[in-house]
Structure formats: C-alpha cells, structure tokens
Amino acid sequence: MRKHIRYIAVAVAAASMVGFSGCAGEGADGENVSVTLLTADPQENLQPAIDGFEAANPGITVEYEYVPFDQYNNLIEQRVGSGDAGVDVYAADSGAIGSLASKGYLVDLSEFSDEVAAGSLPATLDANTYDGKLWSVPMWTSMQYLYYNKDILDAAGIPYPSSNLDEAITYQELLEAGKQAQAAGATWGVLFDQINRYYQLQALIESAGGGSGATGEDLLTPAINNDGWVSAMNFYSQLFEEGVAPRGVATEQMPVLFSTGEAAFIVSGPWQATTNANEGAIKYGVAANPVFEGGTPAMSTGSWNLGINPATDQMEASKKLVEYLSLTKEGNALSTSVLGISPTNVAAFDDFVAGLDDRDAPHTAGLGELTKVQLSSIAVNRPNSPGFTQMGDVTGRAFDDIRNGQPVQGTLDSAQAELQGLWDRLK
C-alpha cells in the first residue's frame, strides 16, 4: 500500500511536468512562413503595422514578443548572443548599432543603403552605419523641445522662451528663469525628462563643446573629462545644488512632475505632450532646445531601428518585414500610429509633422515647424561605438553622482578611467 502511494506520488509529479510542456516553435510549412519580431514595446503599439504587413504579404505571419525595456539589452544579449533562431527581427536602439554589429548580432543590410539615403530622414543613415556598412534600418526617431508652464511663467513675470531656433534660450538663462519661477512659488524650476541618462544629456554636453565622449577611429577612446564635459557638468551640478531641479526623484517621475504643474520648464520629447494632455491640468507652450552659452545648438535624437538576427532561418521574410516597417510610407507610418512617435520615412514624416500642431491644441501650436527645423539642423546622434553600452552605464552613474553633489572633475576623471578600462577589454 505504501509503495503504491510512493509510486503514485512520483507518477503524478512526473506527469504534471511532462504534461505541461508547451509547444515552443512555430511551424514553417510550405505555405505559411512565420517571422518573430522582438521589441521593447507592447504588442498593441505595433499591431496596426503588423496587420498592414500581413495584409500586404499573405503567406507570412508575424509572431510578436515583447520584452520590458529595462531588460531588453540583456535579453538580446542572451538570445541573439546564443544564436537563438527564435528571434528573426528585433529592435536595435540608436547608439547600440556599433556594439551589436561588432559582436556579430546583426545582418549586413547595406543593400538597403540607397533606399535609406533616398527615403529616410538625413540623420538616420549615419545612425545605422558602423564601419562603413549599414547594419539596421531606421524605424522611429525622437526630438526634444523646451516645454514651459505658462501659468507659472506668467506669475513670475518671465517672458516665454522663443521657438525660433536663432533666439533659443541659453541653459544659463534657463537656470535663472527657473530660480525666478521658484521664487514666485513653483516647486521646481528646470527638469529634464531622462534627467540622468546619456541620451538626454548628450545635447547639453555637445552644446558645451564636449563632443560625444567617444573618440578615435574605432570610437573606443573615451573623452568624457574634457573641458566641454566639465563645463556642461558644472552647469548640471549647479541645477541641483541650487535646488532648481530635484535630487533623489526617479526619472519616471519627471514627466508627471511637469504635467501636474510642479515645474516651470522641462526638456522632453513629443511624448510629454501626450502626458500633459492625459493629465489635462496645465497651460503650456513649446519652445526651441536650449543652447549652451557660447556653444553650438544641439538636440538629442534617435530611437529604435530594426535589425535582423544572423541566426534567423527566415532571411527573405525578415528582410521583407524590415523593408515594410522602415522604408515604405505605409508601413513606417502605421508603426508610429499608436505611439505618436516620429517616423523616419520622409513621406510619413511630413504627414506626422503636419499633425503635430494639433497634438494637444492649443498648447502645441507651432510644434510642427519647430520639429522640422530642429531635426534638420541641430540633431546629434548617439555614437555607434562598440562600447556604447559601457559608456551609457559609466556616464549614467557619473551623472547620478554629480547630481547628488559629488565634485565634477573628480567624478568625470574616475569615470574616464573606468571607461578606459572597460573599452580596453573590447579592443
């Protein structure tokens, strides 16, 4: 009797495991081919584009997998890096192209170079190039603006900043205006959307003449403690030291702080307008990116691009998918329709710009023109260094330290040393 119980227990245990092995793979029978698309966006964001693609390509189905953003790079490393054929097409972040390509995680897509040069926004060709070859095709891009809370500015008697690029406010003037706003009752003066990330602060640093931080022919010689970096970071440190921007508040809270009327200014992307609209609490306007005093204007740009996993067994279908999503007006426009982010296909972009002014009327009046001008003249791409991930990590921690009051030169110097050590391992 007791033996039976034991056998039954073991059998149940075994059965409960075996019985639940699901099917992991997609079938690729003669008629229907399946391509897996992996991105850091929820499926609903790309569903219209997927539907459009499947309608235009009967015989190809798109399987979608979503990975939370903060684990995305990690997961690409694990799956593409282990030669997992279960991933065919995946989203590649701007700045990461060099790193992905040098590790062999991307298929050479130079055959699309001419199409990209002809049909996509100018900055996007460079953004997807590494070592003279095209490794991915652009899908989305981003831009930044200076948002300002009209009520707060009115109460403090501050003139609205200009949306004319030639009259852009300087960062230094912005700091002063922020202080004035706080004196008149605003909680915070100046915010940045991704307040401690390289993507956001690259514009500030480049404007101060610091360059991107990655130099050398192989883009593996760090330069993150030169004069430009130091000046930019001195300003950054000042923001927090003087209480104009908050310490200890997570990046994710920044948009909400502005949309609920707690801050006078924020440098953020078009998505800020959506957040503001959802909250519906403030009167605001949109102006040109600030410029560093005595420096050249610069604006952060770039977003997700599409690459193909070399381990894919659906090369033809994958190429069709990336071509549709990036290089056709219909596909590219559909891919941005849910998120409202900027497409990279020129024709789709023109439509996008035309609709910008109505994004959150009347606050977003003039947004379209401003976008066109900024994108064509002051956009700076993240450098496609093979060590970009390391740079993002090291500088991110340096920014946090400076934000929390650590001395600027010392922090940048030790970040430089740390990055040098990490990049030496890559050479």
Partner 1 sequence: MALSSKMGSTPSRQAFVTIAAWVVGIAFILPLVWMLTGSFRDKGELFASVYPLSWGILVPETLTLENYENLFAGPFGRSVFNSIFVTAVSVIVGLLLSAMAAFALAKIPFRGAGVLFVAIVLSFLVPFDAIAVPLANIFREWGLANTYAGLILPGVANGLAVFALRQFFLGVPDELAEAARMDGLSWWGIFWRIYLPLSRPALIGAGFILFLFQWSAYLWPLLIATKSSVMLGPIALSTLATQQSVDFGAIFAGAVFLTLVPLILLLVFQKHFTASLASTGSKG
Partner 2 sequence: MTLLARKGAQGASHKLAPRGRSRSLWPIALIFLAPTLILLFVLRVIPAGEAVMSSFQNSPSRLIAPEWVGLENFAVLFGSADFYQVLGVTGIFIVTIVPFQIAAAVFIALLLNERFPGLGLVRTFVFLPVAAPAAVATVIWGIAFQPRGPINAILEAAGIPSQPFLTSPSQALFSIIILMSWIGIGYWTLFLVAGLQDIPEELYEAATLDGAGWWQCFWSITLPNLRRTLAFVVVANTVSSLIAFVPVAILTRGGPADSTRLIMFDTYNNTFVLGDVHLGSAEVTVLILILITVTAIQFRLLGKEK
Residue at token pair 């970009």:
388
The interface region with partner 2, picked from 115-123, 220-228, 248-256, 317-325 by CB under 8 A, is 248-256
Tell me the number of residues near partner 1 by CB under 8 A: 43
Q: Which of 281, 354, 361, 417 binds partner 1 (CB under 8 A)?
A: 281
Contact 76, 136 (CB under 8 A): no
**Strand segments (E) across 245-303:** 263-268, 284-287, 299-300
* Contact set for partner 2, span 77-96 (CB under 8 A): 77, 81-83
Q: How far apart are CA 394 and CA 392, in angstroms?
A: 6
Q: Which of 57, 103, 184, 413 binds partner 2 (CB under 8 A)?
A: 103
For residues 199 to 238, the per-residue mask of contacts with partner 1, x marking binding by CB under 8 A and - elsewhere, is ----------------------------------------
Q: Which is it for the CA torsion 254, 255, 260, 263, positive or negative?
A: positive
393 scored as a contact of partner 2 (CB under 8 A): yes
Residue 210 contact partner, candidates partner 2, partner 1, none, CB within 5 to 8 A by sort of partner: none
The interface region with partner 1, picked from 69-77, 148-156, 169-177, 309-317 by CB under 8 A, is 69-77
Least distance to partner 1, CB of residue 119, Å: 25
Residue 332 contact partner, candidates partner 1, partner 2, none, CB within 5 to 8 A by sort of partner: none
Q: Which of 2, 19, 250, 362 binds partner 2 (CB under 8 A)?
A: 250
390 scored as a contact of partner 2 (CB under 8 A): yes
Report the candidate in 382, 326, 54 with the shortest Cα–Cα distance to residue 200. 382
Q: How far apart are CA 190 and CA 146, in angstroms?
A: 10
Report the candidate in 238, 262, 264 with the shortest Cα–Cα distance to residue 169. 264
426 scored as a contact of partner 2 (CB under 8 A): yes
Q: 226 CB contacts (<8 Å, ≥6 apart)? A: 210, 211
Burial of 183 (0-12, 13-18, 19+ CB in 10 A): exposed
Rank residues 175 and 245 by Cβ distance to partner 1 and give the closer one. Answer: 245
Report the candidate in 303, 301, 299, 267 with the shortest Cα–Cα distance to residue 378. 299
Contact 258, 266 (CB under 8 A): yes
Contact 255, 263 (CB under 8 A): no
* Contact set for partner 1, span 319-378 (CB under 8 A): 339
Give, as one character, the DSSP assignment of residue 108: -
Rank residues 40 and 287 by Cβ distance to partner 1 and give the closer one. Answer: 40
CA distances, 331 to each of 19, 48, 244, 299, 340 (Å): 41, 9, 43, 27, 14
CA distances, 194 to each of 36, 144, 200, 203, 421 (Å): 30, 11, 6, 12, 27
Report the candidate in 327, 285, 282 with the shortest Cα–Cα distance to residue 306. 327
Least distance to partner 1, CB of residue 20, Å: 4
Residue 217 contact partner, candidates partner 2, partner 1, none, CB within 5 to 8 A by sort of partner: none
For residues 283 to 322, the per-residue mask of contacts with partner 1, x marking binding by CB under 8 A and - elsewhere, is ----------------------------------------
405 scored as a contact of partner 2 (CB under 8 A): yes
| Binding residues vs partner 1 (CB under 8 A) | 2-3, 5-6, 9, 13, 16-18, 20-22, 24-25, 40-42, 65-71, 75, 78, 82, 84, 86, 252-253, 255-257, 259-260, 262, 271, 274-275, 279, 281, 339
| Binding residues vs partner 2 (CB under 8 A) | 10, 13, 73-74, 77, 81-83, 102-105, 246-250, 310, 389-390, 393, 396-397, 400-401, 403-406, 411, 418, 421-422, 425-426
